[in-house]
Each structure stands twice: as structure tokens, then as C-alpha cells.
Structure 1
Amino acid sequence: MKVVILAGGLGTRISEESHLKPKPMITIGEQPILWHIMKYYSSFGFHDFVICCGYKGHMIKEYFADYYLYRSDVTFDFSAENRMTIHQNIAEPWRVTLVDTGLNTQTGGRVKRVEKYIGGEPFLLTYGDGVSDIDLDALLEQHRASGKTVTLTGIQPGGRFGVLDLDEAGTTVSGFREKAKEDGGWINGGFMVMEPEVFGYLSSEEGCILERAPLETLAREGKLGIYKHDGFWQCMDTQRDRGRLEWLWGSGRAPWKVWEET
């Protein structure tokens, strides 16, 4: 199953660094948050990634073009016809497709523009600026059992995000509300599962916002499910957010760090 990662936004709320690099390339420890997200998915056996690039997307492409070299021990022997010897390398079991989805394209348009790389199969989708310790196997199991077109991960981080209205059973999203004070409401934390039918709700136009008309329509039709996650979740909107993630990683307490070192 492919993992689609939205990595094309401008990241204006963390502009101290995003004016130099795309937001998904801002580091936690010594690696971009995009790497952390991919390592997490890979730990569950999802190794095939489609990355939706936009703002400064060439930097993401350059990162992966040089990934093997950067992660290896190398000797450059200039006395022997510029020979390069790889002594030790760290290989990932990844297949990474990088797609230029436009500079100003919104989330729905970006997903629609990678449709041809999905292959008409269900896929996973998340944002390139958030980490979590969500049980991806349980998410996928619930989605398959539900028959929904889309299942998103609901989290409860606080009151500064838009809120999801749920049905009485608490398993289907019935609508959306604007940002509200903390009231225990659930918000979309990403980490979604989508059936290929979702592309019929999307447009490749720049202004198509996934979280607006497409998901709102699916909610009205009873086709939008929610997987409730009450564990760790953190997006990197601000330098304060990044500082918290840096502290967790540096202290060895990062909840999303579930893979073994190689």
C-alpha cells in the first residue's frame, strides 16, 4: 500500500526556517521531519512513498538523490582516477516517488495530481509536518471493516483547530465546525486511509482544499470515518512545536521512535 505525504506547503507559521527550506525538511535531531514520518510508516511495513512536492521541492529531491551517499561511510581516492569506495551504508527499503504538484496548489489538488501514481488502489495519506505513535495496523483494520471511503485519525490537541462533529455511535464524521474553545472536540490529525473512489471528489485545480468540500461532502454522505487516537500526536507549526519535538528526540523519549537503530 502506498503512502502519500503532503509536502508542498509554504509553512508560513514557522517562517524562521521555512524561508530557507520546505517545512518537511526542517530537522528534528539531524534528520528532516519528513524522514521521521517515513521511518514511522516503514516500521509498520509501508515502504512505498509518493511525496507531493511544491515550495522548494527541489530540496526534497536533492535530499533523496544524495541520501545513499549522505548515510554512508565513503573514501574518495583522488590518486586513483577519482575512485569512490563505499565502506558502510545504511539502506532503507523505500521506493520514493517525488511529484511536483505545484507551488500554490492546495491539499486536495495535490492529492488529485498524484492519482496516476497510486494505481487505483487504497492508499495512506498524511501531512509532512506531524508525528504520532498511532497504531497504523489498527487504523487500517478499522477502515477495512467500516466500508468508508476515507478514514481519518481524530485527535484532541486543544481548541485552536477546527472540530469534527460525530454521529451518535462516534464512528462517522457528520460535519465540521469552525475553530472553537476547548470542548473535548476531535480534530483531523492526518494519518488517513483512502479508497481510490476519493479521487472522484477531488479536482486538480489549485484551489481544491481536501479538508473543505471533498471531506465535507463525504461526511454528509456518511462515507467519512474516524479512528480515535488518544496517544501522542504533534504537528510542527511553530518554533515552539519544533522545540518540543527536539527535546523529546534528544532526551530519548520520542514516542514516534519505534524503529531499531541500524
Structure 2
Amino acid sequence: MKVVIFAGGLGTRLSEETDVRPKPMVEIGGKPILWHIMKIYSHYGFNEFIVCLGYKGYIIKEYFTQYFLHNADLTVDLANNSIAYHASSSEHFKVTLVETGALTKTAGRLQQVQKYIGNEDFMLTYGDGVSDVNISQLLDYHKQHNKIATVTAVQLDSRFGGLELDADDNVSAFREKAKDEGKWINGGFFVLKPEVFNYLSGNMNNMMWEDEPLEQLANDAQLAAFKHMGFWKPMDALRDKIELEDMWKNNNAKWKVW
């Protein structure tokens, strides 16, 4: 089963990093967050990826075309311009890199990679979010519910502590950064049937996947939600990047399932 990854957005809320590279190439622990996402899927045996390129997509192309070179010992013979590779630590990824347009929105990006997917179920996620979601359980859930689309539903951690007050306005309980238990949001990590492309007809370049396509799937009772209670974090802003980096350095990277 193939995994499609959206990796073409401008990443304007992380401009401190994305002025010079696309957001999926922002590094956590010396590796792009895109690599971390691929490692999550690879842990469950999924190593074939289709990456939707856009803003500064050439940087992602250069990363993967040079990956073997950068992860191996080398002997360079300058006399005949030959290179011998030794002890490579390269991954088993097979990566199709698709130019989907610098300004194309997510529905248009997905529509453009249909020809690389074929008539089979596939997975889809965003190139800026990591999680410890169990991909095997997600797939089983998708098969059991037999909907066209399954989305991983998550709950956001509050950025603020929660207070419980008594009748005299004294604090009776304090919860630091509790989850917003009343609201489920789109956490990515989709599983989709090929019939999903029936919801992507016409020119979708100015359409967000999260708007009309998902809304119509929900209206047609074809969108199932896999509730994930574990770790999930998007890298939306610089503070998120710093938090993820700190987690990695402190050996507390909860998304590191491999």
C-alpha cells in the first residue's frame, strides 16, 4: 500500500525556517520531519511513498537523490572520477516525487498523484505532523468500517492550564495543559479507497482537501474516524519545532516507534 504525503505548502507560520526550505525539510534531531514521518510508516512495513511537491520542491528532490551518498562511507578515486560506496545506512524507501505546483491547494495535489496510486487503497498524511498512531490498527479499523475514507481523529493539548472553581471562586483543581476532551480534530493519517477520486472531479487546484471533498464524504456517510488517544503533534510554528527538538534530544520522542 502506498503512502501519499502533502509536502508542497508555503509554511508561512514557520517562516524562520521555511524562507530557505520547505517545511517538511525542517529538521528534528538532524533529520527532516518528512523523514520522521516516513520512518513511522516504515516501522509498520510501508515503504513506498508519493510526495506531493510544491514550494521549493527541488530541495526535497536533492535530498532523496543524494540520500545514499550522504549515508555511506566513500572511496573517491580522482584519477578516473569513480566512487566506491561502503557501509551504507540508507533506508528501504521507494519515493516518487511529484511536482504538483507551487500554489496548488491540497485537493489539487492529491488529484494530480492519482496516476501514481492506481486502483487500490492508499494512505495519506501531512508532511509536518508526527504521531505514535498504530498504523496497523488504523488499517484494520478502515477495513472493518468499509468507508471510502478514514481519518485519524485527535484531541489537541491545551496550551494553558485548566482551572476548576468552587462556589466561592477558589481553585478546587488545576490541570496543566489538559486535552480538550470535548473536541476531535483532523490529525491526518488517512486511509482512502480509490473511490475517493470521485470527490476530486474537475479542476481542484484551488480547493482544499479539508473543505468540499471531506465535507461531502462526511455528508455521504463515507468518512470514518479512528480515535487516537496517544501522541500527536503538528509543527505549525517555531515553538512546535523547538518542542519537538527538545523531545528528541531528551530521548522523549513519543513518535519514534521504530
Q: TM exceeds 0.5? A: yes
Alpha-carbon distance in structure 2 between the residues aligned to 1:240 and 1:75: 41
Alpha-carbon distance in structure 2 between the residues aligned to 1:219 and 1:82: 58
Alpha-carbon distance in structure 2 between the residues aligned to 1:50 and 1:29: 24
2:195 pairs with 186, 197, 202, which one?
197
CA RMSD of aligned residues (A): 1.5
Please state whether the residue corresponding to 2:256 is helix, strand or coil: coil
After TM superposition, where is structure 1 displaced by more than 4 Å over at least 4 residues in a row? none
Alpha-carbon distance in structure 2 between the residues aligned to 1:193 and 1:22: 25
Please state whether the residue corresponding to 1:116 is helix, strand or coil: helix
Alpha-carbon distance in structure 1 between the residues aligned to 2:208 and 2:181: 26
Gaps of 5+ in 1: 161-181
2:222 pairs with 1:223 = yes
Question: Match of 1:178?
Answer: none
Alpha-carbon distance in structure 2 between the residues aligned to 1:191 and 1:83: 42
Question: Match of 1:106?
Answer: 105
Spell out, residue by residue over 1:56-78, the C-alpha distance to the aligned partner (whole angstroms, 9 max, x if none).
00000010000000011112232
2:24 pairs with 1:24 = yes
Question: Match of 2:38?
Answer: 38
Question: Match of 2:186?
Answer: 188
Letter in structure 1 aligned against 2:199:
Y
2:29 pairs with 1:5 = no
TM-score (norm 1): 0.88
CA contact (8 A) 2:155 2:181 kept: no
Question: Match of 2:208?
Answer: 209
Letter in structure 2 aligned against 1:234:
K
CA contact (8 A) 1:3 1:49 kept: yes
Alpha-carbon distance in structure 2 between the residues aligned to 1:221 and 1:81: 64
2:229 pairs with 1:240 = no
Alpha-carbon distance in structure 1 between the residues aligned to 2:251 and 2:72: 23
| Distance apart, 1:82 and its partner CA | 2.7
CA contact (8 A) 1:21 1:56 kept: yes
| Distance apart, 1:83 and its partner CA | 2.9
Alpha-carbon distance in structure 1 between the residues aligned to 2:25 and 2:93: 18
CA contact (8 A) 1:109 1:206 kept: yes
> How do 1:122-137 residues align onto structure 2 when only pairs under 5 Å count?
122-137=121-136
| Distance apart, 1:196 and its partner CA | 0.4
Question: Match of 2:69?
Answer: 69
Please state whether the residue corresponding to 2:196 is helix, strand or coil: helix
CA contact (8 A) 2:49 2:95 kept: yes
Shifted more, 80-89 versus 97-106: the winner is: 80-89
Alpha-carbon distance in structure 2 between the residues aligned to 1:87 and 1:207: 47
CA contact (8 A) 1:10 1:22 kept: yes
Alpha-carbon distance in structure 2 between the residues aligned to 1:224 and 1:159: 26
Letter in structure 1 aligned against 2:122:
F
Gaps of 5+ in 2: 160-179
Alpha-carbon distance in structure 2 between the residues aligned to 1:158 and 1:206: 32
Alpha-carbon distance in structure 2 between the residues aligned to 1:248 and 1:159: 18
2:92 pairs with 1:85 = no
TM-score (norm 2): 0.89
Letter in structure 1 aligned against 2:224:
G
| Distance apart, 1:158 and its partner CA | 4.4
Shifted more, 199-208 versus 98-107: the winner is: 199-208
Alpha-carbon distance in structure 2 between the residues aligned to 1:113 and 1:208: 13
Please state whether the residue corresponding to 2:87 is helix, strand or coil: strand
Alpha-carbon distance in structure 2 between the residues aligned to 1:126 and 1:132: 11
